[in-house]
Structure 1
Amino acid sequence: MRKEFEIQGCIEVPPEVTEDEFWNTFIGFVESKGWSFGGGIREIQDGYYILADGSRGRRVLDE
């Protein structure tokens, strides 16, 4: 039997933490438990999604 949890939320980190640093730490924790994660990540700053080019995208609350 497989058991899964769907995660919907945000994790607040200090401004100097990069997306890669967060992702590597998060995945490292998950894998250290022998678990796996399927999904993605989206950076948010001041309530806006940050696009791949570093510019501000849509507001989070507009979705």
Structure 2
Amino acid sequence: MKQKKQLGVYIEGCIYANDDNKSVEHDEFWDKFIDFIEANGWHFGGGTKQIDA
């Protein structure tokens, strides 16, 4: 039986708060992102970093 090819999603972009007076801190984002990924039974391979631009 031929196995179905696994599909995934490539992510490239930046996350900012809607409020100009707030920041998105890396650790807070990462914790919420991983919780979301794991809650859906997925896994993530890649990296993240804090930006200020």
TM-score (norm 2): 0.72
The structure with higher relative contact order (CA 8 Å, sep 6+) is: 2
**Could you tell me which of 29, 34, 39 is aligned with 1:27?**
34
Counting only pairs closer than 5 Å after superposition, residues 1-40 of structure 1 correspond to structure 2 as 1-13=5-17, 14-15=22-23, 17-40=24-47
**Moved segments of 4+, more than 4 Å:** none
Bigger share in strand = 1
Which segments of 5 or more consecutive residues in structure 1 lack a partner in the other structure?
48-63
Q: Once superposed, what is the RMSD of the aligned Cα atoms?
A: 1.3
